[in-house]
Amino acid sequence: AQKITQTQPGMFVQEKEAVTLDCTYDTSDPSYGLFWYKQPSSGEMIFLIYQGSYDQQNATEGRYSLNFQKARKSANLVISASQLGDSAMYFCAMREGGTSGTYKYIFGTGTRLKVLA
Amino acid sequence: EPEVTQTPSHQVTQMGQEVILRCVPISNHLYFYWYRQILGQKVEFLVSFYNNEISEKSEIFDDQFSVERPDGSNFTLKIRSTKLEDSAMYFCASSARQPTNEKLFFGSGTQLSVL
């Protein structure tokens, strides 16, 4: 079974509009973390935002916010006021405890976002 | 901000040859990882490393793969006898395991091409 599911392989958004990238997860670990990373065409992985499973409030980092719905096991990324530079691949990832007590990070298949001028 | 450094950025090798991909994690980090990504697709977990030993490994990480932290700063991934399907971008990552934000820091990757 997929641990991290990103159902949108590609998305378009008009510049200056907001966009939501979907992510659902599956874990039985009570303590976990959820991350979003951006991968531009240059290939590097850029950390955007983090949400801990015990955090009461949704995480925000500038124009990025994470809509965390624990009961639904969803962690959608909201980008407000999209910019052309936001065009990239976006990966949702989950950190859960590994079998040896260390962390394991699992990534979704990604959503390619294209911002239109 | 501190960085994870990977070398080389590109590596071309012949099938059956050994390759070593090098990484310098962030100096105060304790947990180290290798991931790979084929043709901009899914980022796949290979292995995690802590306290000088492998903590977790995926089914991809077979006997052809090994990792080492030879000198307390470098973290290497060795592929003993490369196959065509090993062609991918290989990312090294490290984390500090802080209680409030276990952010995974990635290097810029090594693009491995097996011919």
Please, how many CA atoms are within 13 Å of residue B58, restricted to the half-sphere of its CB? 13
| Cα–Cα dist B34/B23, whole Å | 9
Distance in Å from the first CA to the final CA of chain A: 38
Question: Does B101 have pLDDT greater than 90?
Answer: no
Output the average pLDDT for chain B: 90
What pLDDT was estimated at residue A1? 57
What pLDDT was estimated at residue B99? 46
CB contact under 8 A, A35 and B41: no
CB contact under 8 A, B56 and A110: no
- Predicted confidence band of residue A111 (pLDDT cuts 50, 70, 90): very high
How many interchain CB pairs under 8 A, A with B?
70
Per DSSP (E only), the strands in chain A are 4-5, 10-14, 19-21, 24-25, 32-39, 46-52, 60-61, 64-69, 74-79, 88-97, 103-107, 111-116
What pLDDT was estimated at residue A104? 76
Question: Does B97 have pLDDT greater than 90?
Answer: no
Which of B31, B45, B91 faces A102 most closely, judged by CB atoms?
A: B31
A107 interaction partners in chain B (CB closer than 8 Å): 35, 42-45
Distance in Å from the first CA to the final CA of chain B: 36
CA quadruple B80, B84, B89, B93: dihedral positive or negative? Answer: negative
Q: What is the pLDDT of residues B44-59, one digit of tens each?
A: 999 999 888 998 899 9
Question: Mean pLDDT, to the nearest integer, of B2-21?
Answer: 95
Question: Does A68 have pLDDT greater than 80?
Answer: yes
Question: Does A88 have pLDDT greater than 60?
Answer: yes
- Tell me, what DSSP letter sits at residue A57? S
A110 interaction partners in chain B (CB closer than 8 Å): 41-43
- Shortest CA distance to B39 belongs to which of A94, A84, A87, A39? A39
Write the burial class of residue B51 (CB in 10 Å: 0-12 exposed, 13-18 middle, 19+ buried).
Answer: exposed
Residues above pLDDT 70, as percent of chain B: 95
- State the Cα angle at B98 between B92 and B103, rounded to 5°: 40
Look up residue B17 and give its amino acid.
Q
Question: Does A99 have pLDDT greater than 80?
Answer: no
Question: Mean pLDDT, to the nearest integer, of B96-107?
Answer: 74
B47 Cβ contact partners less than 8 Å away, ≥ 6 residues apart: B33, B34, B54, B56, B57, B58, B61, B65, B67, B77
CB contact under 8 A, A50 and B55: no
**Closest-CA residue in chain A for B111?**
A43
Question: Does B100 have pLDDT greater than 60?
Answer: no
**Closest-CA residue in chain B for A109?**
B42
What pLDDT was estimated at residue B39? 81
**Closest-CA residue in chain A for B30?**
A102
| Cα–Cα dist A43/B73, whole Å | 24
What pLDDT was estimated at residue B51? 85
Residue in the structure block whose two tokens are 């979704």: A108
Distance from CA of A45 to the nearest CA of B (A): 6
